[in-house]
Amino acid sequence: MIQIEHIFISPGHNFFGHHGKPAGENEVVAVDSIECVAGSGIRGDRFFDHKPDYKGQITFFSMEVFEALCEALNVSNISPSAVRRNVFTRGVDLDQWIGKEFEIQGIRFSGAEECKPCYWMDQAIAPGAEAYLKGRGGLRARILSDGVLKRTA
């Protein structure tokens, strides 16, 4: 069964749109639940109503991958929020949902594509993070139905 261990939102962009400039300083906020709005995104998050049919209205990331990343790079005391994804899951292979519709807690999503890591990962986590996460950077999805998604762990 899928578990949701962490949920994060941020009101602003720290890396998106910052190429060639310093990273932003917008906080990442841990929350117990989020309001998913069909076609718009997560209320209160930086990508809410970003643009029509945006592929990254919500992002998912595997806790198993996060833990393996930390072990591989020998880093500790780093929060999952450093990867700047919204929902951290356990017990599911997120790649199975690329190109498919799926449901969590009664909310429908459409898996758009892998959430590809970028060079900022090396700054946010540790050198080598971008390379390690290629092919396992999480899932970008569209929200197809309204609802509240809650932490389960």
Alpha-carbon span 77 to 18, nearest angstrom: 26
Phi-psi region at 142: left, alpha or beta (left = phi > 0; alpha = psi -120 to 50):
beta
For position 18, what pLDDT does the model report?
A: 47
> Token match 């578990």: residue?
3
Longest dimension (CA), the chain: 42
For position 81, what pLDDT does the model report?
A: 92
Could you list the pLDDT tens digit for every one of the 153 residues in the chain? 899 999 999 885 555 554 565 655 667 889 999 999 999 999 999 888 888 899 999 999 999 999 999 999 999 989 999 988 999 999 999 999 999 999 999 999 999 999 988 877 888 899 999 999 999 999 999 999 999 999 997
Q: Determine whether domain 3-150 maps to CATH 2.40.33.20.
A: yes
CA angle, residues 117, 149, 106, in degrees to nearest 5: 110
pTM of the full predicted structure?
0.89
What ranges do the domains of the chain cover?
3-150
pLDDT over 70 percentage in the chain? 90
What tens digit of pLDDT does each residue of 102-132 get? 999 999 999 999 998 887 788 889 999 999 9
140: which 2 tokens? Answer: 């970008």
What tens digit of pLDDT does each residue of 72-85 get? 999 998 999 998 89
